[in-house]
Amino acid sequence: MCSIMGFSKKTRSREEILPYFARTRSRGPDMSRIVETPSGYLCFHRLAIMDLSEDGMQPFSLDGDYVVCNGELYGFRSIRRELAGKYTFHSNSDCEILLPMFHEYGLSMFSRLDAEFALIIYDSMTDSLIAARDPIGIRPLFYGYDTDGGIVFASEAKNLVGLCKEICPFPPGHYYAYGKFVRYADLTTVREYLPDDEETICRSIRNKLIAAVDKRLDADAPLGFLLSGGLDSSLVCAISAIVLGKKIRTFAIGMDTDAIDLKYARQAADFIGADHTEFYMTQDEVLESLEEVIALLGTWDITTIRASMGMYLCCKAIHAHTDVRVLLTGEISDELFGYKYTDFAPSDRAFQAEAKKRVDELYMYDVLRADRCISVNSLEARVPFGDLDFVRYVMQVDPARKRNTHGMGKYLLRKAFDQDNILPHAILWREKAAFSDAVGHSMVDDLKAYAETRYTDAEFARLRRKYDYCPPFTKESLLYREIFEKYYPGQASMIADFWMPNRDWEGCRVSDPSARVLANYGASGV
């Protein structure tokens, strides 16, 4: 991960902007630089992943233009070869291709990128900033307006607190240029479903996921893998071990009292021959870390905060005890293939609409969680299930085939690898458990019990009325909101809503986001 900021005007001096930029130093602890443009600033904190030498340091410049990018540009070497005849490259960094692409293709460059990125370009011809974000929003970017009306871009909302009155998430799949936001990519709007039969679909899912993992193994810094023991992370690890042809390093975490998934993670790791490390967290560690986690996340959402506790503490331990700098994770499979609650979708159309909503909003929930928990510990996240080709294909699969009609969620994904023998059958066909539950049911129970001690019923009824936007509906949600407001006052609208099952569906009218409250949870949490 890296951290970027861009100021379109010099309302403040370099010394005045430094404290705001310094808030995300952990995203890029290796080296920092601020470049003045004629009208503003570009700022960069580097976490060295590609070309570890100083040659890979940003901003890159070309004919008066500058660029800062937090991203990984897959397939950059082929683009570089195409451009090498006209441009001279001085590093082995993937991001050095961006300005030559801008000079060659202009604003159409963004739709040519196979990448997860957030970037800011200083365009010297117009003395203005251009910004863009990948189609899913895997890399974070926010914006706001300074007191003189100049636009400011930043990797995280915390960079803009106290600087901008209103902080807004930069919309995924958009670029900003010359005063306007323009959508350049839409992965989730499907006008016609693929005619492929089940065999073809499963073969395509298999091949595309392998390709997605393969391209994310390209790094000059040490790789590691988060392994929960569930289907998604286990597949990523198993594929990676085969592609790399060597022992990989896997990491798992659970509560010290009732960790559910550690035994499954160990089973998967043993099967693929991984160098596996287990971490344990205690009730005290969870409660002591709660405020810190909400501050680093920039959210008040119950599900996101619960699921972040284990990931944050796991990544903190990885950073403290290993040299790993890049982590592959299993996020984004649920949004594509379905959650436990989507078993209750009343129709194919409703299932597809829910998948679209979940993928479109990923940047506010699971993707936000993974980015902040990993980057605050000076690590980089890579998400194979978020591969653009993979997402585009799965979204185009007929929802009638994706729905749970086999008594097992994610049937197509499981069947796609059923004949490969890369995972134990018991892992490949295991019921899904939500991550916030899988680290141990006691963790969520501890958080809820702690919130109960913070407020009487009368205090809860009074304090929740302070919030017109997405008002808290439990003592736990009130606790999270009050901590959020301490660090991001008045910025609650950065998050669209509480992540909850679709309450319009029969079977999903629940008051807690945990899958444990659903009637179909079954054997997921054992």
Closest CA to 217 of 199, 233, 240: 240
Closest Cα to residue 261, out of 270, 250, 251, 252? 252
Mark whether 422 and 447 lie in a shared domain. Answer: yes
Local confidence band at 391 (pLDDT 50, 70, 90 cut-offs) = very high
Residue 440 has pLDDT above 80, yes or no: no
The chain-wide mean pLDDT, for the chain, equals: 95
Question: Domain end: 433, 452, 471, which one?
Answer: 452
Residue 526 has pLDDT above 60, yes or no: no
Q: Is residue 202 part of a domain?
A: yes
**Cα(208)–Cα(391) distance, integer angstroms:** 9
513 domain-assigned: no
Report if residue 30 sits inside a domain: yes
Q: Is the dihedral of CA 364, 206, 330, 216 positive or negative?
A: negative
In the listed set 452, 473, 495, which residue is the last one of a domain according to the structure? Answer: 452
Q: What CATH number is given to the structural domain containing 21?
A: 3.60.20.10
Same domain, 160 and 47: yes
CATH of the domain at 320: 3.40.50.620
Note the pLDDT of residue 435.
55
Cβ-count burial of 88 within 10 angstroms (0-12 exposed, 13-18 middle, 19+ buried)?
exposed
Q: Concatenated DSSP letters for 249-271?
A: EEEEEEETTT-SSHHHHHHHHHH
State the pairing for strand pair 142-145/151-154.
antiparallel
- 178: Cβ contacts below 8 Å, ≥ 6 apart: 126, 128
Does any domain span residue 412?
Answer: yes
Q: Do 166 and 262 belong together in one domain?
A: no
Say whether the peptide bond before residue 59 is cis (omega within 30 degrees of 0).
yes
46, part of any domain = yes
In a 13 Å sphere around the CA of 62, the CA atoms on its Cβ side amount to: 20
pLDDT at 174: 98
- Among residues of the chain, what percentage have pLDDT more than 90? 89
Q: Name the residue range of residue 18's domain.
A: 3-183
- Region of 449 (left: φ > 0; alpha: ψ -120 to 50; beta: rest) is alpha
Split into its structural domains, the chain has a count of 2
Question: Over the stretch 10-53, which tens digit does the pLDDT of each residue have?
Answer: 999 999 999 999 999 999 999 999 999 999 999 999 988 888 88
Q: What is the pLDDT of residue 52?
A: 85
Q: Is 393 helix (H, G, I), strand (E, B) or coil?
A: helix
Is there a single domain that holds both residue 248 and residue 175?
no
Tell me, yes or no, whether 343 and 300 share the same domain: yes
Cα distances (angstroms) measured from residue 157 to each of 258, 486, 526:
35, 14, 38
Residue 221 in any domain: the answer is: yes
Burial bucket for residue 405 (CB in 10 Å: 0-12, 13-18, 19+):
exposed
Q: How far apart are CA 489 and CA 121, in angstroms?
A: 30
Single out the residue in 413, 436, 452 at which a domain terminates.
452
Closest CA to 352 of 331, 336, 330, 333: 336
Q: What percent of the chain has pLDDT over 70?
A: 98
pLDDT of 514 reads: 85
Please indicate, yes or no, whether residues 278 and 368 belong to a single structural domain of this protein: yes
Active-site annotation, residues: 2
Same domain, 168 and 230: no
Let me know whether 104 and 210 are in one domain: no
- The predicted-structure confidence for 302-337, as pLDDT tens digits, reads as follows 999 999 999 999 999 999 999 999 999 999 999 999
Evaluate whether residue 394 is within a structural domain: yes
Task: Supply the pLDDT for residue 517.
Answer: 84
Confidence grade of residue 343 (pLDDT, cut at 50, 70, 90): very high
The reply to whether 481 falls in a domain is no
Q: Do 262 and 406 share a domain, yes or no?
A: yes
> Please, what sign has the CA dihedral across residues 467, 471, 472, 473?
positive
- Determine the pLDDT at residue 436: 56
Q: Both 164 and 240 in a single domain?
A: no
Is there a single domain that holds both residue 294 and residue 372? yes
b/e map of 417-438 (b: 16 or more CB within 10 Å)? beeeebbbeebbebbbbbbbbb
CA-based nearest residue to 405, from 448, 345, 463, 365: 345
Residues 137 and 203 in one domain: no
**Residue 356: strand, helix, or coil:** helix
Token code pair at residue 328: 């592959």
